[in-house]
Amino acid sequence: MHVTFRQLQVFEAVARFNSYTRAADHLHLSQPGVSMQIKQLEESIGLPLFEHVGKKINLTNAGREMYVYSQSIGHLLKEADTVIKELKGLHRGRLAISVATTASHFATRLLADFSQRYEGVTISLDITNRESLRRQLENNEPDLVIMGQPPEGVDTESEIFMENPLVMIAPANHELVKEKNIHLSKFENEHFVVRESGSGTRSAIQRVFDEHHVTFHTGIEMTSNEAIKQAVEAGLGLGIVSIHTLELELETRRLAILDVENFPIIRHWHIVQRSGKRLSPVGQEFKRFVLQEAKQFISLPALRK
């Protein structure tokens, strides 16, 4: 059976209005044009769809069955049209976001607010380390990435949306907590709990110590900021982490930020995408949202610079 949507549309109108003339007016067609579409449909089906009794027309058994299907098909196409229009807008769609572990503290709040504004959008969130983010960008997997410095050797587009200060932390009862403007050389013999080699944070720390000709001693390497904070609190060494990971510890006074010369180390948060990637309307709106509104999701004490 070879049937066109136009034939079904014309048939559905004739059956609904029970009139060729009214169907023609509704569809802005000539009456002969309507008759031709019905004739072609009947030939394709191989059965009459209408029976003519005087000037009246009635559906045949085949016509009644076809009327049910034509209505269902019409409803489905209207639904498809609505979905496509929504995908072109901001009511529906999918968004794949990857976030550096250090940024997860504020990124989850940010995404929660965005998802409340656009409830029909399905968000896929991956919180992972720098090496994984690099691999994802190389493979053009996520729509957007929130991270520190974009990886070298990968063709990306990025924009800075917020500062990312790295601060030195110690247990709240540490003897250095009350000291001011501590010279970096005082930490020559200290041991630090730090992120693994290759992380953006670790590289930035090493660079600052090297620039000031101070030896940086690594006591323990850890793969998460949560582990670093717990280790520092337990007295296993000092730590250097993003201030954006410390909100709870500062509020509860479990950790303290040391006042050190040349600190904080100012880095930046970037929103990153693979070069040439065409973002959907939802992706474009999320990028705008991050660039313009991300700062409101951070509540931390002011830092001396």
Q: Domain extents for the chain?
A: 5-88, 93-162+268-297, 163-266
Q: Specify whether the CB–CB gap between 110 and 290 falls below 8 A.
A: yes
Instruction: Supply the pTM of this predicted model.
Output: 0.65
Statement: residue 304 has pLDDT above 60: no
Secondary structure of residue 5 in the 3-state scheme:
helix
Q: Specify whether the CB–CB gap between 287 and 293 falls below 8 A.
A: no
Residue 211: per-residue pLDDT = 92
Question: Each residue of 190-216: pLDDT tens digit?
Answer: 889 988 776 777 888 889 999 999 988
Q: Which of 83, 96, 87 is nearest to 286 (CA)?
A: 96
d(CA 123, CA 108): 11
Residue 303: per-residue pLDDT = 53
Residue type, 160: I
Instruction: Write the CATH number of the domain with boundaries 93-162+268-297.
Output: 3.40.190.10
Question: Each residue of 150-163: pLDDT tens digit?
Answer: 988 999 999 999 98
Asked whether this chain's domains 5-88 and 163-266 adopt the same fold, the reply is no
Q: How distant, in Å, are the alpha carbons of 270, 271, 299 from that of 155?
A: 15, 14, 33
CATH among 3.40.50.2300, 3.30.450.20, 1.10.10.10, 3.60.70.12 for 5-88: 1.10.10.10
To the nearest whole percent, how much of the chain has pLDDT over 70? 93
Ranges 103-117, 121-135, 288-302: which has the least confidence: 288-302
Statement: residue 86 has pLDDT above 80: no
| 163-266 homologous superfamily | Periplasmic binding protein-like II (3.40.190.10)
Residue 91: per-residue pLDDT = 64
Ranges 55-59, 81-85, 146-150, 249-253: which has the least confidence: 81-85
